[in-house]
Chains A and B, each alone.
Chain A
Amino acid sequence: MGVRARASGAVAAALVLLLAGCSDDGDGESDGRITLRFQSLAWQQESVEANKELVKKWNATHPDVKVEYVQGSWTSIHDQLLTSFEGGEAPDIIHDASDDLADFAYGGYLADLGDLLPERLKSDIPEASWDTATFGGKVYGVPFLQEPRVLIANATWLKKSGVRIPTPEKPWSWSEFRSVTKELGDGDGKFGVAWPLKDPVSATLNLSLSTGGQLFHRRADGKAEIRFEAADEVMPRTVHDQVNIDGSASGSTLGMGGSDTLPGFFGGKYAMVPLGFSYRQQISQQAPKGFDWRVLPAPAGADGLAQGVSPQTLSVAEDSPHKKEAAAFIDFFLRPANMVRLARGDWMLPTGKAALKDPALRTKKDDWATGTALAGQLRPAPAQSVRGYPEWKDKIATPALQEYYSGAIGLDELRERLVKDGNLVLKRYQR
C-alpha cells in the first residue's frame, strides 16, 4: 500500500470516528434516571409557554423521570413521524391530530393506552372524543384539544341589517343561513359570507354532520363505502347556490385559506367568515381598532349543531421502553387546570369535562362561551378511521368539490365522482 493510500485510509477512519463521536446515543436513560422525549406541536406563543411551563413543573416534581421538551412542527409531521417510527427513533410522547393517527395505529407504531391511563382521565373525556383516537377497539391517543367551525361575523353589519342573531340554543337552519346571506350582500362587491375552501373536504364533511350527512358508511362486513345521499347534499348545495345563484358568497375566496379572508373581512367586504374557533386569536390581534366581531354557531340541520372534529392528541410510541411513565406524564399534563391553560394558549376547546366547566372558558370575552356551548355537539370527523381516505380526499374529493363549488360541474357529476371513483379507491385499501 502506498503512502498516499495509507494516508487516505487514516483520514477516512479519523473522519468516521469523529462523526461517531459527535453523535447522540439517545438511549433515554442515564444514571438510572429515565428521560422521556415529548414532541409538542404547540406553535402559538402562549401555547408554547404553557407547554414548557408544564414540562418544567413535571421535572421539578418528578426527579426520576425527566421530560425533554422537543418543539415539533405541523409541517410534514406525518412524514417526520413515519421516518422516526421506521428508524426506531420516535419521541416517547407524541403530539398530533386524531385524523393522522389511523395509519400509525394500524401500522403498530403507537402503544395501546387502554390500560395505561388512569380512570380519572378516562372518565373526564367524553366517549365521542375517545372515538376519534380509538381504532379496532384500542386507544392510540388522548384527545385533548378541539375546535368547532363557527361563523365569525361583523357584529356592526349584522346589527344594522336587522337579521336574527343566532345563538347555540337557536341557531340558523341552513336555509335561513342562505336567506340571511342574501339579505346581507349587496350584489356589488359586498358579500354575506366568504367561504375559505382551499381545503374543501374536511369543511364539507364535518359541517354535513349537522344535516345527518355521513358520506362514509360501514357495511355489515365492516368495510367502508361512500354514499352521497340527500342529507349529504344540504351543506354543499347551500355553498354552491350562495356562490353561483344568489351571489351572496364570494367566489374568489373559494381557493383561499382561512387567514387569507381576514383582510377582506376587516375591510368590510364580507359580513361573515366560517372559520375554526381558534382563528379568534388572529382576529383579536389583527382586527382594526373598534372592529366589532362576534362568534356565531354554524348553521344547524336535522341533527342540530352536530359537527365533525379531529382533536389534537397525545400518544405514546410503541417502541418507548417507558410507556407507563409516559402515560403518567400525559395524565399530569392533562389535569383539568392544565388543560384549561393549554386550551387558552391555543384558543381552542378542551375535551375534558372538568376543564370545560372552568369560568375562564365560559366568559363572554372573545366569545369563549359560544364555543363552550358547542362542545357537546362535536363528533369524530366522519372519515378519519377510513383507510384510503387521504387518497380519496386528494385525488377525488378535493378537485370534485372545488369544481362543484365554483360552478364548473353540477350535483350529479359531483355525486358520480365522489361515490363511483371514491369507492374504487376505498376498495384497494380494503381487500
Chain B
Amino acid sequence: MTRRTSGPARAGQYLALLAYLVFLAFPFLWLISTSFKPARELGSLHPTWIPKDPTLANYRQAFDEQPLLEAAGNSLIAALSASLVAVVIATPMAYVMARHRTLLARAATGWVVVSQAFPFVLVIIPLFLVLKNLHLINSLPGLIMVYVVWALPFALWMLVGYVRAVPTELEEAAAVDGASKLRTLVSVTAPLLAPGIVATALFAFITAWNEFFFALVLLKTPEKQTLPVVLTHFLGAEGAADLGPLAAAAFLATLPSLVLFAIIQKRITGGMLAGAVKS
C-alpha cells in the first residue's frame, strides 16, 4: 500500500530537490562561466553569472600551453581499461563471495573494508619499487594495473551486494530445468547483474579518470601524463593559479564523465536499486 503525499508536502519535496540540484550544479555552472570570462572579469569584486564580454581565449590558451587532447586520450585509455579489467576480475570473485559464505569470504570482505582506509602515500613507495622492477614505471599499462588494484576492493564490495540481490531460487530453478552451472551463470545470473556491473564499471571509470597522485608519481614523460596531472600545470606555488585556462581545461575534463553518465543513466539507476535491497 502506498501513502499519498499531500500537496504542500509534495511542493516541499520538489523545493528541497531543486535546492539540492542548485547546490550540486553551482560549482559546475560557475566553472563554465569562469572559463568564458576574460582576465579582467575574473578579478571583479562583483562577479556575474553571465560573462559581460565572453571570450574563447582561455580555451585557446589552455590548448596552446598544454597537450590537453593527448592527456585526455591517456586518461580515457587508463580509465576505460581499468574499469573493464576491474569488472572482469571482480564479477566472478563477487559471485563466489556472495554465494559461499565461508570464513575466508568473510575475512576477504573485512580486508576489502580495511584496504579502503590505506592512504596513498603509505603504498606509493613500495608500489613504485614493484612497478620499477616490472619495468612499468612511466607506462599506461603500469598505471592501469594500479588503478585496477585500487578499484578492485570497492568494486568487489559493490558487486557482492548485487549478487546477493539475485534470488538463489532463480538459479535453482534453472538447475532443475537442466541448465549447467555455466549456462545458469551466463543466461540467468549475468543479465540480472548487468545493471550492477555497469554501475561498478562506472565507479571504477570515474575513480581512475579523476585520480591524480598515482599518475603524478608514476608517469614521467609529458606524452604519457593524464588529464588531472596536466591540469595542475596551470597552478603555481602557494596556490597561485592561471584561473581562466584552468577553468577551461577543468570544464573539458568533466565532459567525458557527464557524457558517460548521460548515456548509461538508466542502467545505473537500475543497478543501484538492485544492489540496495537484499532478497
Give Cα A185 to B222, complex, Å: 49
CB-CB contacts below 8 Å: B203-231 with A: 212-213, 216-217, 220-222, 225, 229
Would A23 and B240 count as touching, CB distance under 8 A?
Answer: no
- Chain A residues in 8 Å Cβ range of B135: 20, 23-25
- Chain B residues in 8 Å Cβ range of A430: none
- Chain A residues in 8 Å Cβ range of B42: 286
Binding site secondary structure of chain B: helix
Contact pattern, B 127-138, Cβ under 8 Å of A = 1, otherwise 0 = 011001011111
Instruction: Specify the chain A residue showing the minimal Cβ separation from B141.
Output: A19
Would B139 and A22 count as touching, CB distance under 8 A?
Answer: yes
The answer to whether A269 has its CB under 8 Å from any CB of chain B is: yes
The answer to whether A70 has its CB under 8 Å from any CB of chain B is: yes
CB-CB contacts below 8 Å: A90-116 with B: 91, 97
Contact pattern, A 13-51, Cβ under 8 Å of B = 1, otherwise 0 = 000101110111110000000000100010111001000
- Chain A residues in 8 Å Cβ range of B121: 79
Chain A CB count within 10 A is highest, among B129, B145, B232, for: B232
Could you tell me the distance in whole angstroms from the C-beta of A15 to the nearest C-beta in chain B?
Answer: 9
The answer to whether A410 has its CB under 8 Å from any CB of chain B is: no
Which residues of B pack against A, CB within 8 Å?
A: 39-40, 42-47, 61, 65, 121, 124-125, 128-129, 132, 134-142, 145, 212-213, 216-217, 220-222, 225, 229, 232-243
Would B44 and A74 count as touching, CB distance under 8 A?
Answer: no
Could you tell me the distance in whole angstroms from the C-beta of B234 to the nearest C-beta in chain A?
Answer: 7
Beyond A19-B145, A45-B61, A84-B217, whether A73 also contacts B44 by CB under 8 A is no
How many residues of chain A are within 8 Å of chain B by beta carbon? 55
The answer to whether A175 has its CB under 8 Å from any CB of chain B is: no
In the complex, 28 of the A-B residue pairs with CB atoms within 8 angstroms, ordered by the A residue number, are: A20-B134, A23-B134, A23-B136, A23-B142, A24-B135, A24-B139, A26-B138, A45-B61, A45-B65, A69-B222, A74-B235, A74-B236, A83-B124, A83-B217, A86-B128, A86-B129, A87-B137, A88-B132, A89-B132, A89-B137, A97-B237, A257-B239, A258-B240, A262-B43, A266-B45, A267-B45, A278-B240, A288-B40
- Additional A-B contact list (11), CB under 8 Å, known A267-B45, A288-B44: A20-B135, A43-B235, A75-B235, A79-B121, A79-B124, A79-B213, A84-B128, A263-B44, A266-B44, A278-B240, A287-B40
Would B233 and A73 count as touching, CB distance under 8 A?
Answer: yes
Q: Which residue of B45, B134, B233, B235 is within 8 Å of A19 (Cβ)?
A: B134
Report how many A-B pairs have Cβ atoms within 8 Å. 141
Q: Which residue of B39, B65, B139, B213 is within 8 Å of A23 (Cβ)?
A: B139
Give Cα A45 to B135, complex, Å: 34
Q: Which residue of A75, A198, A263, A285 is within 8 Å of B45 (Cβ)?
A: A263
Give Cα A263 to B42, complex, Å: 8
The answer to whether A71 has its CB under 8 Å from any CB of chain B is: yes
Would B141 and A258 count as touching, CB distance under 8 A?
Answer: no
- Chain A residues in 8 Å Cβ range of B212: 76
- Chain B residues in 8 Å Cβ range of A263: 43-45, 47
The answer to whether A264 has its CB under 8 Å from any CB of chain B is: yes
The answer to whether A325 has its CB under 8 Å from any CB of chain B is: no
Beyond A48-B65, A267-B46, whether A87 also contacts B234 by CB under 8 A is no
Give Cα A20 to B132, complex, Å: 10
Instruction: Specify the chain A residue showing the minimal Cβ separation from B128.
Output: A87
Chain B CB count within 10 A is highest, among A22, A68, A97, A267, for: A22
Could you tell me the distance in whole angstroms from the C-beta of B151 to the nearest C-beta in chain A?
Answer: 17
The answer to whether A363 has its CB under 8 Å from any CB of chain B is: no
Beyond A43-B233, A74-B236, A86-B129, whether A286 also contacts B217 by CB under 8 A is no
Could you tell me the distance in whole angstroms from the C-beta of A178 to the nearest C-beta in chain B?
Answer: 26
Could you tell me the distance in whole angstroms from the C-beta of B216 to the nearest C-beta in chain A?
Answer: 5
- Chain B residues in 8 Å Cβ range of A287: 40, 43
CB-CB contacts below 8 Å: A358-397 with B: none
Could you tell me the distance in whole angstroms from the C-beta of B67 to the nearest C-beta in chain A?
Answer: 9
- Chain B residues in 8 Å Cβ range of A269: 45
- Chain B residues in 8 Å Cβ range of A79: 121, 124, 213, 217
Could you tell me the distance in whole angstroms from the C-beta of A37 to the nearest C-beta in chain B?
Answer: 7
Beyond A23-B137, A89-B137, whether A83 also contacts B125 by CB under 8 A is yes
Beyond A19-B142, A287-B40, whether A199 also contacts B234 by CB under 8 A is no
Give Cα A134 to B243, complex, Å: 35
- Chain A residues in 8 Å Cβ range of B239: 198, 257-259
Could you tell me the distance in whole angstroms from the C-beta of A419 to the nearest C-beta in chain B?
Answer: 26
The answer to whether A167 has its CB under 8 Å from any CB of chain B is: no
Would A24 and B221 count as touching, CB distance under 8 A?
Answer: yes
Give Cα A74 to B124, complex, Å: 19
Would B139 and A18 count as touching, CB distance under 8 A?
Answer: no
Could you tell me the distance in whole angstroms from the C-beta of A149 to the nearest C-beta in chain B?
Answer: 11
Would B138 and A24 count as touching, CB distance under 8 A?
Answer: yes
- Chain B residues in 8 Å Cβ range of A75: 216, 232, 235
Could you tell me the distance in whole angstroms from the C-beta of A124 to the nearest C-beta in chain B?
Answer: 24
Q: Which residue of A43, A89, A268 is within 8 Å of B234 (Cβ)?
A: A43
The answer to whether A80 has its CB under 8 Å from any CB of chain B is: yes
CB-CB contacts below 8 Å: A110-156 with B: none
Give Cα A18 to B85, complex, Å: 15
